[in-house]
Structure 1
Protein backbone atom coordinates (compact mmCIF):
# COMPACT_ATOMS: atom_id res chain seq x y z
CA UNK A 1 0.00 0.00 0.00
CA UNK A 2 1.21 3.49 -0.83
CA UNK A 3 2.32 5.52 2.18
CA UNK A 4 2.29 9.30 2.21
CA UNK A 5 5.06 11.03 4.16
CA UNK A 6 4.52 14.52 5.55
CA UNK A 7 7.39 16.33 7.25
CA UNK A 8 7.34 19.34 9.56
CA UNK A 9 10.32 21.30 10.87
CA UNK A 10 9.74 22.20 14.52
CA UNK A 11 11.41 23.93 17.49
CA UNK A 12 14.73 25.74 17.67
CA UNK A 13 16.62 22.62 16.62
CA UNK A 14 14.69 22.50 13.32
CA UNK A 15 13.80 18.90 14.08
CA UNK A 16 11.88 16.93 11.46
CA UNK A 17 8.58 15.49 12.65
CA UNK A 18 6.92 12.90 10.42
CA UNK A 19 3.35 11.83 9.81
CA UNK A 20 2.98 8.64 7.78
CA UNK A 21 -0.48 7.93 6.38
CA UNK A 22 -2.00 5.15 4.29
CA UNK A 23 -4.71 5.18 1.62
CA UNK A 24 -7.38 4.58 4.28
CA UNK A 25 -6.35 7.73 6.22
CA UNK A 26 -4.71 5.86 9.08
CA UNK A 27 -1.58 7.60 10.32
CA UNK A 28 1.29 7.37 12.78
CA UNK A 29 3.21 10.28 14.28
CA UNK A 30 6.99 9.93 14.55
CA UNK A 31 9.24 12.15 16.68
CA UNK A 32 6.86 15.05 17.35
CA UNK A 33 9.02 18.06 18.11
CA UNK A 34 6.14 20.55 18.24
CA UNK A 35 6.75 22.69 21.33
CA UNK A 36 5.21 26.08 20.57
CA UNK A 37 1.44 26.36 20.41
CA UNK A 38 1.52 27.37 16.75
CA UNK A 39 3.57 24.25 15.97
CA UNK A 40 1.10 22.04 17.79
CA UNK A 41 -1.74 23.75 15.94
CA UNK A 42 0.01 23.14 12.62
CA UNK A 43 0.31 19.43 13.34
CA UNK A 44 -3.29 19.12 14.52
CA UNK A 45 -4.61 21.13 11.58
CA UNK A 46 -2.81 18.88 9.10
CA UNK A 47 -4.32 15.79 10.70
CA UNK A 48 -7.81 17.27 10.84
CA UNK A 49 -7.83 18.83 7.37
CA UNK A 50 -6.72 15.56 5.79
CA UNK A 51 -9.20 13.48 7.77
CA UNK A 52 -6.44 11.35 9.28
CA UNK A 53 -6.87 8.86 12.11
CA UNK A 54 -3.78 8.74 14.35
CA UNK A 55 -3.02 5.20 15.52
CA UNK A 56 0.35 5.42 17.28
CA UNK A 57 3.16 7.64 18.54
CA UNK A 58 6.66 6.41 17.66
CA UNK A 59 10.12 7.62 18.69
CA UNK A 60 13.38 6.94 16.91
CA UNK A 61 15.03 8.11 20.14
CA UNK A 62 14.30 10.35 23.11
CA UNK A 63 16.56 13.39 22.80
CA UNK A 64 14.71 16.56 23.75
CA UNK A 65 14.22 17.93 20.24
CA UNK A 66 12.44 14.74 19.14
CA UNK A 67 10.00 14.45 22.07
CA UNK A 68 8.96 18.03 22.84
CA UNK A 69 5.51 17.30 21.43
CA UNK A 70 4.99 13.88 23.00
CA UNK A 71 2.80 15.18 25.79
CA UNK A 72 0.66 17.21 23.37
CA UNK A 73 0.20 14.25 21.03
CA UNK A 74 -0.67 11.89 23.87
CA UNK A 75 -3.10 14.38 25.40
CA UNK A 76 -4.77 15.17 22.08
CA UNK A 77 -5.03 11.71 20.53
CA UNK A 78 -4.52 9.28 23.45
CA UNK A 79 -2.11 7.08 21.49
CA UNK A 80 0.04 4.14 22.48
CA UNK A 81 3.69 5.22 22.66
CA UNK A 82 6.54 3.12 21.24
CA UNK A 83 10.19 3.54 22.31
CA UNK A 84 13.21 1.27 22.69
CA UNK A 85 13.85 0.33 26.32
CA UNK A 86 17.50 1.41 26.10
CA UNK A 87 16.37 5.02 25.67
CA UNK A 88 14.30 5.20 28.86
CA UNK A 89 17.12 6.96 30.72
CA UNK A 90 17.40 9.44 27.85
CA UNK A 91 13.65 10.06 28.03
CA UNK A 92 13.61 10.55 31.79
CA UNK A 93 16.60 12.91 31.79
CA UNK A 94 14.97 15.53 29.57
CA UNK A 95 13.03 17.12 32.43
CA UNK A 96 16.35 17.84 34.17
CA UNK A 97 17.83 19.94 31.37
CA UNK A 98 14.93 21.28 29.28
CA UNK A 99 15.24 24.70 30.94
CA UNK A 100 18.89 24.94 29.88
CA UNK A 101 17.71 25.06 26.26
CA UNK A 102 14.96 27.56 27.05
CA UNK A 103 12.09 25.08 27.11
CA UNK A 104 10.72 26.29 30.44
CA UNK A 105 7.22 25.05 29.62
CA UNK A 106 8.29 21.52 28.77
CA UNK A 107 5.67 18.94 29.70
CA UNK A 108 7.25 15.57 30.53
CA UNK A 109 6.69 12.87 27.96
CA UNK A 110 4.30 10.04 28.75
CA UNK A 111 5.86 6.70 29.55
CA UNK A 112 6.11 4.17 26.71
CA UNK A 113 3.28 1.69 26.48
CA UNK A 114 5.30 -0.59 24.18
CA UNK A 115 9.03 -1.25 23.99
CA UNK A 116 10.54 -1.66 20.54
CA UNK A 117 12.99 -4.41 19.66
CA UNK A 118 15.26 -5.05 16.69
CA UNK A 119 13.36 -7.03 14.09
CA UNK A 120 9.88 -5.97 15.17
CA UNK A 121 7.34 -5.51 12.39
CA UNK A 122 4.82 -2.82 13.24
CA UNK A 123 1.49 -2.76 11.43
CA UNK A 124 -0.92 0.15 11.76
CA UNK A 125 -3.67 -0.18 9.17
CA UNK A 126 -1.80 -0.24 5.86
CA UNK A 127 1.40 1.15 7.38
CA UNK A 128 4.04 -1.54 7.84
CA UNK A 129 7.38 -0.67 9.43
CA UNK A 130 10.39 -2.85 10.19
CA UNK A 131 12.27 -1.79 13.32
CA UNK A 132 16.08 -1.84 13.28
CA UNK A 133 18.14 -1.10 16.40
CA UNK A 134 20.76 1.54 15.49
CA UNK A 135 22.50 2.84 18.64
CA UNK A 136 25.46 5.19 18.68
CA UNK A 137 23.82 8.61 18.57
CA UNK A 138 21.54 7.54 21.44
CA UNK A 139 21.66 4.23 23.32
CA UNK A 140 18.14 3.21 22.32
CA UNK A 141 18.00 4.62 18.80
CA UNK A 142 15.92 2.77 16.20
CA UNK A 143 14.93 3.39 12.59
CA UNK A 144 11.67 2.54 10.83
CA UNK A 145 11.97 0.93 7.38
CA UNK A 146 9.37 0.26 4.71
CA UNK A 147 10.68 -1.91 1.87
CA UNK A 148 7.64 -1.59 -0.40
CA UNK A 149 7.79 2.20 -0.51
CA UNK A 150 11.61 2.27 -0.30
CA UNK A 151 12.08 4.62 2.64
CA UNK A 152 13.52 4.68 6.13
CA UNK A 153 12.69 7.15 8.92
CA UNK A 154 16.20 7.27 10.34
CA UNK A 155 16.15 9.89 13.09
CA UNK A 156 19.67 11.12 13.77
CA UNK A 157 21.74 8.20 12.48
CA UNK A 158 22.49 9.51 8.98
CA UNK A 159 22.21 13.01 7.61
CA UNK A 160 22.77 14.25 4.07
CA UNK A 161 26.56 14.01 3.94
CA UNK A 162 26.99 13.60 7.69
CA UNK A 163 25.85 11.63 10.74
CA UNK A 164 24.46 12.09 14.24
CA UNK A 165 26.57 13.64 16.97
CA UNK A 166 28.11 11.31 19.52
CA UNK A 167 29.09 13.76 22.28
CA UNK A 168 25.81 13.48 24.19
CA UNK A 169 25.31 10.98 27.04
CA UNK A 170 25.14 7.49 25.60
CA UNK A 171 26.80 8.50 22.33
CA UNK A 172 29.61 6.37 20.90
CA UNK A 173 31.29 6.82 17.52
CA UNK A 174 32.34 3.18 17.20
CA UNK A 175 28.82 1.94 17.94
CA UNK A 176 27.36 4.48 15.51
CA UNK A 177 29.77 3.37 12.78
CA UNK A 178 28.68 -0.21 13.33
CA UNK A 179 25.01 0.77 13.09
CA UNK A 180 25.63 2.65 9.86
CA UNK A 181 27.78 0.02 8.15
CA UNK A 182 25.95 -3.09 9.38
CA UNK A 183 22.36 -1.82 9.28
CA UNK A 184 21.90 1.34 7.24
CA UNK A 185 24.37 0.60 4.45
CA UNK A 186 22.85 -2.86 4.00
CA UNK A 187 19.57 -1.34 2.81
CA UNK A 188 18.98 -1.03 -0.96
CA UNK A 189 20.81 1.94 -2.46
CA UNK A 190 17.59 3.51 -3.75
CA UNK A 191 16.14 3.67 -0.23
CA UNK A 192 15.16 7.25 0.64
CA UNK A 193 16.54 8.29 4.01
CA UNK A 194 14.28 10.71 5.88
CA UNK A 195 16.48 12.41 8.45
CA UNK A 196 15.82 13.94 11.85
CA UNK A 197 17.20 17.26 10.62
CA UNK A 198 17.71 18.69 7.15
CA UNK A 199 16.86 17.24 3.74
CA UNK A 200 16.34 13.63 2.77
CA UNK A 201 19.03 11.62 1.02
CA UNK A 202 19.52 8.07 -0.27
CA UNK A 203 21.48 5.10 0.98
CA UNK A 204 23.43 4.98 -2.27
CA UNK A 205 24.58 8.58 -1.99
CA UNK A 206 25.64 8.18 1.62
CA UNK A 207 27.53 4.95 0.93
CA UNK A 208 29.62 6.86 -1.58
CA UNK A 209 30.17 10.20 0.11
CA UNK A 210 29.09 10.34 3.76
CA UNK A 211 31.59 11.89 6.16
CA UNK A 212 31.45 8.72 8.29
CA UNK A 213 33.68 7.10 5.65
CA UNK A 214 36.56 9.23 6.96
CA UNK A 215 36.44 7.55 10.39
Structure 2
Protein backbone atom coordinates (compact mmCIF):
# COMPACT_ATOMS: atom_id res chain seq x y z
CA UNK A 1 0.00 0.00 0.00
CA UNK A 2 2.76 2.43 -1.01
CA UNK A 3 2.41 5.00 -3.77
CA UNK A 4 4.98 4.94 -6.56
CA UNK A 5 4.90 7.98 -8.84
CA UNK A 6 5.86 8.30 -12.49
CA UNK A 7 6.07 11.96 -13.52
CA UNK A 8 6.29 12.91 -17.18
CA UNK A 9 5.29 15.65 -19.59
CA UNK A 10 4.77 16.12 -23.32
CA UNK A 11 8.45 15.42 -23.96
CA UNK A 12 7.87 11.82 -22.77
CA UNK A 13 10.85 12.07 -20.42
CA UNK A 14 9.94 10.64 -17.03
CA UNK A 15 11.20 10.27 -13.49
CA UNK A 16 10.25 7.52 -11.05
CA UNK A 17 9.79 8.32 -7.37
CA UNK A 18 9.77 5.81 -4.53
CA UNK A 19 9.40 2.52 -6.41
CA UNK A 20 7.74 0.21 -3.91
CA UNK A 21 7.58 -2.71 -6.34
CA UNK A 22 8.82 -5.98 -4.83
CA UNK A 23 6.72 -8.74 -6.39
CA UNK A 24 7.09 -9.43 -10.12
CA UNK A 25 3.47 -8.43 -10.78
CA UNK A 26 4.19 -5.01 -9.30
CA UNK A 27 7.28 -4.59 -11.46
CA UNK A 28 5.30 -5.61 -14.53
CA UNK A 29 2.55 -3.11 -13.78
CA UNK A 30 5.08 -0.30 -13.56
CA UNK A 31 7.04 -1.20 -16.68
CA UNK A 32 3.85 -1.84 -18.67
CA UNK A 33 2.65 1.67 -17.84
CA UNK A 34 5.95 3.18 -18.90
CA UNK A 35 6.08 1.23 -22.15
CA UNK A 36 2.44 1.76 -23.08
CA UNK A 37 2.89 5.52 -22.71
CA UNK A 38 6.16 5.56 -24.63
CA UNK A 39 8.10 7.09 -21.78
CA UNK A 40 11.84 7.48 -21.40
CA UNK A 41 12.91 7.14 -17.76
CA UNK A 42 15.77 9.52 -17.02
CA UNK A 43 16.07 9.46 -13.22
CA UNK A 44 15.13 7.55 -10.07
CA UNK A 45 14.43 9.47 -6.88
CA UNK A 46 13.66 8.48 -3.30
CA UNK A 47 11.89 11.03 -1.12
CA UNK A 48 13.35 8.97 1.72
CA UNK A 49 14.81 5.51 2.09
CA UNK A 50 12.55 3.40 4.29
CA UNK A 51 12.11 -0.13 3.01
CA UNK A 52 8.68 0.30 1.44
CA UNK A 53 9.91 3.17 -0.74
CA UNK A 54 13.10 1.52 -2.02
CA UNK A 55 12.08 -2.06 -2.86
CA UNK A 56 12.31 -1.39 -6.59
CA UNK A 57 15.48 0.73 -6.65
CA UNK A 58 17.76 -2.02 -7.93
CA UNK A 59 15.23 -3.19 -10.49
CA UNK A 60 14.65 0.32 -11.88
CA UNK A 61 18.35 1.12 -12.04
CA UNK A 62 19.09 -2.05 -13.99
CA UNK A 63 16.01 -1.85 -16.22
CA UNK A 64 16.45 1.75 -17.32
CA UNK A 65 20.12 2.46 -16.63
CA UNK A 66 19.39 5.50 -14.50
CA UNK A 67 20.99 7.07 -11.45
CA UNK A 68 19.46 6.94 -7.98
CA UNK A 69 19.28 10.30 -6.26
CA UNK A 70 18.60 10.80 -2.54
CA UNK A 71 19.44 13.32 0.17
CA UNK A 72 22.80 12.57 1.74
CA UNK A 73 21.28 12.52 5.24
CA UNK A 74 19.31 9.41 4.25
CA UNK A 75 22.26 7.40 2.95
CA UNK A 76 22.53 5.48 6.24
CA UNK A 77 18.78 4.82 6.12
CA UNK A 78 19.18 3.29 2.66
CA UNK A 79 22.13 1.13 3.66
CA UNK A 80 20.32 -0.20 6.73
CA UNK A 81 17.50 -1.74 4.66
CA UNK A 82 19.54 -4.77 3.61
CA UNK A 83 20.20 -5.50 7.31
CA UNK A 84 16.57 -5.58 8.45
CA UNK A 85 14.77 -6.64 5.25
CA UNK A 86 15.12 -10.41 5.98
CA UNK A 87 13.59 -9.92 9.42
CA UNK A 88 10.50 -8.51 7.71
CA UNK A 89 10.33 -11.52 5.40
CA UNK A 90 11.85 -9.88 2.33
CA UNK A 91 14.59 -12.37 1.56
CA UNK A 92 14.96 -11.27 -2.06
CA UNK A 93 15.63 -7.60 -1.38
CA UNK A 94 18.44 -6.32 -3.61
CA UNK A 95 20.50 -3.52 -2.14
CA UNK A 96 21.69 -0.58 -4.17
CA UNK A 97 23.74 2.52 -3.55
CA UNK A 98 22.86 6.13 -4.26
CA UNK A 99 24.61 7.65 -7.27
CA UNK A 100 23.89 11.30 -6.61
CA UNK A 101 22.74 13.50 -3.76
CA UNK A 102 20.50 16.53 -3.74
CA UNK A 103 20.22 19.35 -1.25
CA UNK A 104 17.64 21.95 -0.28
CA UNK A 105 17.29 24.38 -3.17
CA UNK A 106 18.35 21.93 -5.88
CA UNK A 107 16.05 21.29 -8.81
CA UNK A 108 15.04 18.12 -10.60
CA UNK A 109 14.69 18.70 -14.33
CA UNK A 110 13.21 16.36 -16.91
CA UNK A 111 11.75 17.19 -20.28
CA UNK A 112 10.16 20.62 -19.96
CA UNK A 113 9.47 20.26 -16.23
CA UNK A 114 11.20 21.47 -13.09
CA UNK A 115 10.65 20.41 -9.48
CA UNK A 116 12.15 22.18 -6.47
CA UNK A 117 13.70 20.15 -3.64
CA UNK A 118 12.62 21.01 -0.10
CA UNK A 119 14.40 19.37 2.84
CA UNK A 120 11.72 18.03 5.22
CA UNK A 121 13.24 15.81 7.94
CA UNK A 122 11.30 14.36 10.85
CA UNK A 123 9.92 11.12 9.44
CA UNK A 124 13.38 10.24 8.14
CA UNK A 125 16.65 12.18 8.56
CA UNK A 126 17.04 12.91 4.84
CA UNK A 127 13.44 13.24 3.76
CA UNK A 128 12.66 15.65 0.93
CA UNK A 129 9.55 16.69 -0.97
CA UNK A 130 9.45 17.81 -4.59
CA UNK A 131 7.36 20.83 -5.55
CA UNK A 132 6.14 22.63 -8.65
CA UNK A 133 3.96 25.38 -7.27
CA UNK A 134 2.94 26.68 -10.71
CA UNK A 135 1.27 23.32 -11.38
CA UNK A 136 0.11 22.94 -7.76
CA UNK A 137 2.07 19.73 -7.22
CA UNK A 138 3.89 18.44 -4.13
CA UNK A 139 5.26 14.91 -4.08
CA UNK A 140 5.20 14.59 -0.33
CA UNK A 141 6.54 11.17 0.62
CA UNK A 142 5.65 10.33 4.22
CA UNK A 143 5.60 13.83 5.69
CA UNK A 144 1.94 14.85 5.39
CA UNK A 145 -1.12 12.71 4.71
CA UNK A 146 -4.84 13.33 4.36
CA UNK A 147 -5.70 13.95 8.01
CA UNK A 148 -2.45 12.55 9.35
CA UNK A 149 1.34 12.83 9.38
CA UNK A 150 4.28 10.48 9.01
CA UNK A 151 5.22 8.27 11.94
CA UNK A 152 8.19 9.35 14.02
CA UNK A 153 8.93 6.19 16.01
CA UNK A 154 11.40 4.80 13.47
CA UNK A 155 15.19 5.37 13.74
CA UNK A 156 15.98 8.98 12.89
CA UNK A 157 12.40 10.13 13.36
CA UNK A 158 11.49 13.13 15.51
CA UNK A 159 8.01 14.55 16.05
CA UNK A 160 9.01 18.17 16.67
CA UNK A 161 11.27 18.17 13.62
CA UNK A 162 8.47 16.75 11.47
CA UNK A 163 5.96 19.37 12.59
CA UNK A 164 8.52 22.10 11.92
CA UNK A 165 9.08 20.70 8.41
CA UNK A 166 5.34 20.72 7.73
CA UNK A 167 4.79 24.22 9.05
CA UNK A 168 7.87 25.86 7.52
CA UNK A 169 8.13 24.02 4.22
CA UNK A 170 4.75 22.63 3.17
CA UNK A 171 2.29 25.01 4.83
CA UNK A 172 4.09 27.96 3.25
CA UNK A 173 3.07 26.68 -0.19
CA UNK A 174 -0.17 27.83 -1.79
CA UNK A 175 -3.40 26.43 -0.37
CA UNK A 176 -4.26 24.99 -3.78
CA UNK A 177 -1.13 22.83 -3.93
CA UNK A 178 -2.09 19.15 -4.11
CA UNK A 179 -0.03 16.86 -1.91
CA UNK A 180 0.63 13.42 -3.42
CA UNK A 181 1.68 11.34 -0.40
CA UNK A 182 3.57 8.08 -0.11
CA UNK A 183 0.46 6.32 1.19
CA UNK A 184 -3.25 6.89 0.69
CA UNK A 185 -5.06 9.51 -1.33
CA UNK A 186 -4.21 13.09 -2.18
CA UNK A 187 -4.97 16.15 -0.12
CA UNK A 188 -4.29 19.88 -0.36
CA UNK A 189 -2.13 22.22 1.66
CA UNK A 190 -5.14 24.39 2.45
CA UNK A 191 -7.21 21.51 3.79
CA UNK A 192 -4.48 20.21 6.10
CA UNK A 193 -3.66 23.68 7.43
CA UNK A 194 -7.14 23.99 8.90
CA UNK A 195 -8.22 20.42 9.66
CA UNK A 196 -5.25 18.11 10.25
CA UNK A 197 -5.49 16.97 13.90
CA UNK A 198 -1.71 16.72 14.28
CA UNK A 199 -0.42 19.87 12.61
CA UNK A 200 -3.20 22.30 11.69
CA UNK A 201 -2.32 25.92 12.26
CA UNK A 202 -4.09 27.46 15.26
CA UNK A 203 -6.26 30.46 14.55
Normalized against structure 2, the TM-score is what?
0.97
Given candidates 114, 121, 138, the residue that maps to 2:100 is 114
Q: How does 1:36-55 map to 2 (within 5 A)?
A: 36-55=23-42
1:105-141 per-position Cα deviation (integer Å, ceiling 9, x unaligned): 1111x22121110011121111211000000000000
Structure 1 gap segments, 5+ residues each: 1-13
What's the offset of the Cα at 1:149? 1.1
Q: Are the counterparts in 1 of residues 44 and 67 from structure 2 also a CA contact under 8 Å?
A: yes
1:88 matched to 2:69? The reply is no
Cα distance in 1 for partners of 2:141, 2:64 equals 23
Normalized against structure 1, the TM-score is what?
0.91
* Corresponding residue of 1:10: none
Instruction: Report runs of 4+ in structure 1 exceeding 4 Å deviation.
Output: none
What's the offset of the Cα at 1:199? 0.2
What's the offset of the Cα at 1:214? 7.3
Q: How does 1:30-69 map to 2 (within 5 A)?
A: 30-69=17-56
Cα distance in 1 for partners of 2:108, 2:182 equals 20
CA gap of 1:131–1:214, structure 2 versus 1, over 3 A, is closer
Q: Are the counterparts in 1 of residues 16 and 43 from structure 2 also a CA contact under 8 Å?
A: yes
1:195 matched to 2:181? The reply is yes
Cα distance in 2 for partners of 1:139, 1:202 equals 24
Cα distance in 2 for partners of 1:63, 1:83 equals 12
Paired residues, what number? 201
Structure 2 gap segments, 5+ residues each: none
SS where residue 33 of structure 2 aligns? helix
Provide the aligned C-alpha RMSD in A.
1.1
Given candidates 130, 133, 138, the residue that maps to 1:147 is 133
* Corresponding residue of 1:180: 166
1:206 matched to 2:192? The reply is yes
Cα distance in 1 for partners of 2:58, 2:136 equals 30
1:141-187 per-position Cα deviation (integer Å, ceiling 9, x unaligned): 00000122111000000000000000000000010011001001000
1:132 matched to 2:118? The reply is yes
